[in-house]
Structure 1
Amino acid sequence: MERTLAEFIAYLHTTKNTSNNTEISYQRDLKKLIRYLDGQNIHDFAEVTSLDLKGYLSELKSENLASSTISRNIASIRALFQYLFKEGRVTADPSEELKPPKVEKKMPEILSVQEVDRLLKQPNINTAKGLRDSAMLELLYATGMRVSELIHLQVSDLNLQFGYVICHDTDKERIIPIGNVSKRALAEYMEHGRDYFVKNKNEKSLFTNCSGRSMSRQGFWKVLKGYAEAAGIYRDITPHTLRHSFAVHMLQNGADIKSVQEMLGHSDISSTQIYLGMNVAKMRDVYMKAHPRH
C-alpha cells in the first residue's frame, strides 16, 4: 500500500499539478489510514470496504479531532480511491458513501488599519534585513497574496516601473497592482538591501534568507511573529491574517468584490463574499482611497 500511495502522490504532482503542501497533507492523512488498515489485517486497497472506512472515521472522531481535520481526511481518502478506481485497481469505490461532517466557518482574524500601520512600521529600514522585511510585509498587505506566492516570487515577476507584480498560483498567474508605499519599499530593498543577502548572481528569488537562498514559509512566519509582538499585537496572527485584512480593508473603502476576488485569486466568488459581512461600511469615511496605504 505504501508503494501505491507513492504512485498516487506522483500522479497528483505530475498530472494534477498539486502544490507541495497539498501533497504533504495527502501523504500524512493516507499514511495514517494505512496504519489503521494494517492493524485490521488489510494490506491491499482492493480489499477495503465502505465498512472499513467508516470504522476508520469512527476512530478519528474518537480522537476528538476538529471537523475540518476529519473533512480533510475524507477528501484525501476519496481522492485516493477515485484514482484507484479510474486506474482499474479497485472494482468499486468504497469511499463514495463517506460524508464529511459539517464544518463551522469561523470568521477570519482581522487586524485594524491602526494595527497594520504599527506592524508595518516595525522593521528598521536602516538595515538590509529591515529593508527586506519591510518590502515583504508591505507587498503582502498591498496585494493580499498568499505567503506561498510571496516567497516564490522571482525578481522578474516585479515591475516597479508600471507598479505591478505577477503572482503565480499553481498553473495560473495573475497581475496585481501595488501601491506607492509598497513600491517605494520594494525599490529601497532592491537598491540597498537584496545584494547584502544574495551573493550568487544567478539567484532568481526576489526574497531570500540571510544565506541568500529563497525565503521559507517558516522563516517568514518567524519574521512576522517578531514584528507583531514588537507592535504590541498579541493575537495569534499568521501571514494569512494580512491577506484577510487586505480584503476587508479594500471592501471597507469601496472596492468592488469582483476586483478583490481577482486580486486574491479566488476561483469562486463565494470565497470572497465571507468578507462582506465583516463591518464593511463601518470605516468607509475614514479613508480617502480604496487602499489605506496608497
Structure 2
Amino acid sequence: MPPRRRPPAAGQAAASPALHPEQYVQPFLHYLEAECGMSLNTVAAYRVDLTQFIEWGQAERVVSVLDVDLNVLAGFVESLHARDLKATTIARRLVALKMFFRYLVLEGVVAESTVELLSSPKLWRYLPTVLSPENVDKLLDAPGWADQFPLRDRAVLALLYATGCRASEVSGMRVTDAKLEQNFCRCLGKGNKERIVSLNPVAVEAIQKYLTRERPLQVRLRDSEYLFVTRTGRPLTRINIWQLVKKYSIRSGCGAKISPHTLRHSFATHMLAGGAEIRALQEMLGHASIRTTQIYTQVEHSRLKAIHAKCHPRG
C-alpha cells in the first residue's frame, strides 16, 4: 500500500476546500442524469462508487482532486483487491472514477485525468452464469398453486427469458407496452432508450393468463398502469423480481446464485447458439457498445469446449 498523504508542512498552504472531491460529486451526478441521459439506477451506483473512493481518500488524507495521482489510484485499487471484490466490481469503480475525472477536465477543474492511465482488470476471464434450456424449463415450471400469484410469477420469469430484459426494464413495463397480438413488448432501457423486444409463444400465453385471471384481483382497490403489480396494486420493483427469481431458482434446483441477469445471460447465449448475429443480439439486449455483447461469444466458445472435452474420445 502506498504511504499515506501527510498534512501540509508548517508554512505550506492547505488545499482549498473547493477542490475537495466531495464538492463535485452532486454536480457530476446531475451531469450524468441531465446531459448523459443515464438511468437513476446507474447514477445511484456511481454515487456509491464515488462515496467509497472519497471515504478511502479521507483516511489516506487525500484532500484535493489535485492530489489524485497514479500512486493514490494504485493504493485505492490495492485496497479493493484486499477486500476480495470481483473483477467486474473493481472495474465498475474505475469506470466511475474515469467518468468523474473526465467531468472535472471538462469543467476545467483539473488539466488532465490521471485515471486514464490506470488499466482496468482483465474482464475477459469473467464469464456469466448461464442456465441450460432444460433448467430454464424447470425454472418456468416452478411457480405452483401454493404460491400467492403463480401466474404473475411465471409470466415474469417467461418474459425475462423470452426477451433478455433487465429486471428494472420488466418492472417499468406498462400494460400498454405489451402487444400480445403482435408478439412484442416495448421496453425502456438504460438512458431512457426505447426498444422493441419479441415475445415467444410461452411468454405470450403466460402473460395472457396473468392479465385475465390474477391482475384484475390485484388492481381492484388501486388502479395501476404497470404490467406486473403486487397484491395491493403497486408496481413490482426490481428487488421484488430479484427475490422471486431467487425463490424459484432454489425451488427448481438451479441454485441460489441465479438472478434475473442470469436469465438475460441465458437468453443471449441461447440466441447466439441458435445462429443469431452479434449485431442483432446487441439491439435485442439494448447494449450501447458491441464489445459488451461480444462477451457472449466467449460464453458460447467456452460451452463448446466443455462439450468437446466431455464427448470426444480423446477429450
Same fold (TM over 0.5): yes
Name 1:262's counterpart in structure 2: 283
Correspondence for 1:234 among 255, 263, 268: 255
- Give the 3 Å change call, closer, same or farther, for CA 158–99 of structure 1 in structure 2: same
3-state DSSP class of the match of 1:11?
A: helix
Q: CA offset at residue 137 of structure 1?
A: 0.9
CA distance in 2, matches of 1:258, 1:277: 18
Do residues 16 (structure 1) and 36 (structure 2) align? yes
CA distance in 1, matches of 2:237, 2:28: 26
Would the aligned equivalents of 2:105 and 2:111 in 1 still touch at CA under 8 Å?
yes
CA distance in 2, matches of 1:110, 1:227: 16
Between the two proteins, what is the percent identity of the paired residues? 35
Query: Given the two structures, how large is their TM-score scaled by the length of structure 2?
Result: 0.80
- Computed over aligned residues only, the root mean square deviation of the Cα atoms, in angstroms, reads 2.6
Q: CA offset at residue 126 of structure 1?
A: 8.7
- Give the 3 Å change call, closer, same or farther, for CA 137–82 of structure 1 in structure 2: same
Q: Which moved more, 1:140-149 or 1:240-249?
A: 240-249
Q: CA offset at residue 4 of structure 1?
A: 1.8
What residue identity is the alignment partner of 1:277?
Answer: H
Correspondence for 1:213 among 223, 234, 240: 234
Larger Rg: 2
3-state DSSP class of the match of 1:167?
A: strand
Do residues 36 (structure 1) and 36 (structure 2) align? no
CA distance in 2, matches of 1:18, 1:105: 27
Would the aligned equivalents of 2:158 and 2:202 in 1 still touch at CA under 8 Å?
yes
Q: Which moved more, 1:216-225 or 1:92-101?
A: 92-101
- Give the 3 Å change call, closer, same or farther, for CA 133–16 of structure 1 in structure 2: same
Q: CA offset at residue 235 of structure 1?
A: 5.2
Q: CA offset at residue 106 of structure 1?
A: 2.5
CA distance in 2, matches of 1:128, 1:60: 42
Would the aligned equivalents of 1:168 and 1:174 in 2 still touch at CA under 8 Å?
yes
Name 1:106's counterpart in structure 2: 126
3-state DSSP class of the match of 2:185?
A: strand
Q: CA offset at residue 13 of structure 1?
A: 1.3
3-state DSSP class of the match of 1:82?
A: helix
What residue identity is the alignment partner of 2:283?
Answer: E
- Give the 3 Å change call, closer, same or farther, for CA 252–84 of structure 1 in structure 2: closer
CA distance in 2, matches of 1:206, 1:40: 49
Aligned residue pair count:
282
1:108-145 Cα distance to aligned partner (Å, 9 max, x none): 22212221111111223697611111111111111111
CA distance in 1, matches of 2:30, 2:51: 15
Name 2:292's counterpart in structure 1: 271
CA distance in 2, matches of 1:149, 1:272: 18
CA distance in 1, matches of 2:131, 2:169: 21
Name 1:160's counterpart in structure 2: 180
3-state DSSP class of the match of 1:175?
A: strand
Q: CA offset at residue 227 of structure 1?
A: 1.4
CA distance in 1, matches of 2:47, 2:201: 43
Q: CA offset at residue 39 of structure 1?
A: 2.7
How is 1:132-143 mapped onto 2 (pairs within 5 angstroms)? Answer: 132-143=152-163
Query: Given the two structures, how large is their TM-score scaled by the length of structure 1?
Result: 0.85
Q: CA offset at residue 279 of structure 1?
A: 4.3
3-state DSSP class of the match of 1:161?
A: helix
Name 1:27's counterpart in structure 2: 47
Would the aligned equivalents of 2:39 and 2:192 in 1 still touch at CA under 8 Å?
no
How is 1:28-67 mapped onto 2 (pairs within 5 angstroms)? Answer: 28-67=48-87
Q: Which moved more, 1:64-73 or 1:28-37?
A: 64-73
> Could you list the runs of 5+ residues in structure 1 that have no partner in the other structure?
284-294
Q: CA offset at residue 92 of structure 1?
A: 3.5
CA distance in 2, matches of 1:28, 1:262: 29
3-state DSSP class of the match of 2:114?
A: coil
> Could you list the runs of 5+ residues in structure 2 that have no partner in the other structure?
1-20, 308-315
CA distance in 2, matches of 1:268, 1:91: 28
- Give the 3 Å change call, closer, same or farther, for CA 62–227 of structure 1 in structure 2: closer
CA distance in 1, matches of 2:188, 2:62: 42
Q: Which moved more, 1:66-75 or 1:107-116?
A: 66-75
Do residues 244 (structure 1) and 268 (structure 2) align? no
